[in-house]
Chains A and B, each alone.
Chain A
Amino acid sequence: MNTRIEIANLQKRYGRKVVIQDMDLILESGKVYGLLGPNGQGKTTLIKCIAGLLTPEKGQILINGEMRETRHKGMISMLADKDLFYKWMTVQDTINFYDTFFEDFDRADSEELIRFMELVPQEKVEKLSKGMKARLKLVLVLSRKAKIYLLDEPLSGIDPVSREKIVETILDRIREDAIMVISSHMVHAIESLLDEVILLSNGKIIAKEEAEVIRSEKGISIDDFYLEVFRHA
């Protein structure tokens, strides 16, 4: 079944600071969206609103035509910038933890991903390097057969080898029936993954365009398009 997110007139504030302003956005399954913009433009806030971790002051988020509710949480698999593991956990413990917690967790797939990412099941999570930890987080998030994937900065501060592994894994898990949103300020690294590009500035969408349209009509890469837009923003 297809999935559709409709965001209308969304507004989110932290105190007096408006972080998301009157935003309208439609996201459809089968597509990979790049949520792009420099730091502090509202990317994480938008993702958290969709995930239900933040409550907006105004506007609505509809998932398949219904108001976003707690029960929709089961449809959403999110990669947060924070680490959510206990210190004592091994790689295997995190897998077991996710497996008991999420109904849609695909254990066989997680084992395949662990191998591909060259993670060692017995290893303690706190001993992992930043790159390996990022790999593990992605394994956990993508092992869930969710309808909506929200990946917040999956590549930030990650070494090039891990980056390549992560991009390849995301690529391999793109599904017809799922929406994938990837936020990043490292445009170049995710360029070939994206169907559509959403540029965020000051809590507003300043551009939403198909990746191939940017390349064919403007004759430039997404990376250059991004620079062109934000240099003047």
Chain B
Amino acid sequence: MKFDNNRPIYLQIISEIHKDLASGRLVTGQKLPSVRQLAIDYKVNPNTIQRTFRELEGMGMTFTKRGMGTFITEDAEMIEEIKISVVEGYVNAYIESMKALNLSNEEIVEIVQKRLGGVA
């Protein structure tokens, strides 16, 4: 993936992991790939991944089993909260840009409904 070089890379990797949790690609208790593997996958310095892991563990999103690796938390409530915050993040960003175009709440809802109706 391509990173935005204007923002800390470790924060961008954390939001990637959040997205994977929201979509269910990562699930509770799942083992994360090794630092080395992730460094290669994301094409970033291993120290950046280490930093990411430290932050994730600090937030309680992951835990380390000695000699076994890093795992996603088993706290289902926490994962649910992350999912909600990821979805809200996108929704808020969408609403904000619609508001910037001077659309009313009703118009926004109408557009979304129409669009979804068209797709489904």
Interface residues of A (CB under 8 A from B): 30-32, 167-168, 171-172, 174, 188, 191-195, 212, 215-216, 219-224
Contacts and interface: CB of A to CB of B under 8 A. Distances in A.
B47 A171 contact: no
B45 A172 contact: no
A172 B39 CA distance: 8
Nearest to B44: A192
A218 B17 CA distance: 24
Interface string B34-55: 0000011001111110010000
Contacts of B5: 188, 191-192, 215, 221-223
26 contacts: A30-B47, A32-B45, A32-B47, A167-B43, A168-B40, A171-B43, A171-B45, A172-B40, A174-B39, A174-B45, A192-B3, A192-B9, A192-B43, A192-B44, A192-B48, A195-B45, A212-B9, A212-B10, A212-B51, A215-B5, A215-B6, A216-B7, A216-B8, A219-B7, A221-B5, A222-B5
Interface of B: 3, 5-11, 39-40, 43-48, 51
A36 B83 CA distance: 41
B43 A221 contact: no
Contacts, number: 51
B46 A174 contact: yes
B96 to A, nearest CB: 19
Contact of A221 (B6, B10, B46): B6
Contacts of A188: 5
Contacts of B8: 212, 215-216
Contacts of B51: 212
A215 B9 contact: yes
Contact of B47 (A31, A168, A172, A224): A31
Contacts of B11: 216
A30 B51 CA distance: 13
Nearest to B4: A221
Nearest to B10: A212
A193 B45 contact: yes
Nearest to B48: A212
Nearest to A214: B8
Contact of B39 (A171, A215, A219): A171
Contacts of B48: 192, 212
A224 B60 CA distance: 34
When A and B form their complex, which 5 residue pairs have the shortest distance between CB atoms, in order from nearest?
A: A221-B5, A216-B8, A215-B8, A212-B8, A192-B44
Given A171-B40, A172-B40, A215 B7 contact: yes
Given A171-B44, A220-B6, 14 more contacts: A31-B47, A32-B47, A172-B40, A174-B39, A174-B45, A191-B5, A192-B3, A192-B5, A192-B43, A192-B44, A195-B47, A212-B48, A216-B11, A219-B6
Contacts of B43: 167-168, 171, 192
A171 B47 CA distance: 11
Contact of A224 (B3, B6, B40, B45): B6
A167 B10 CA distance: 19
Contacts of B3: 192
A195 B47 CA distance: 7
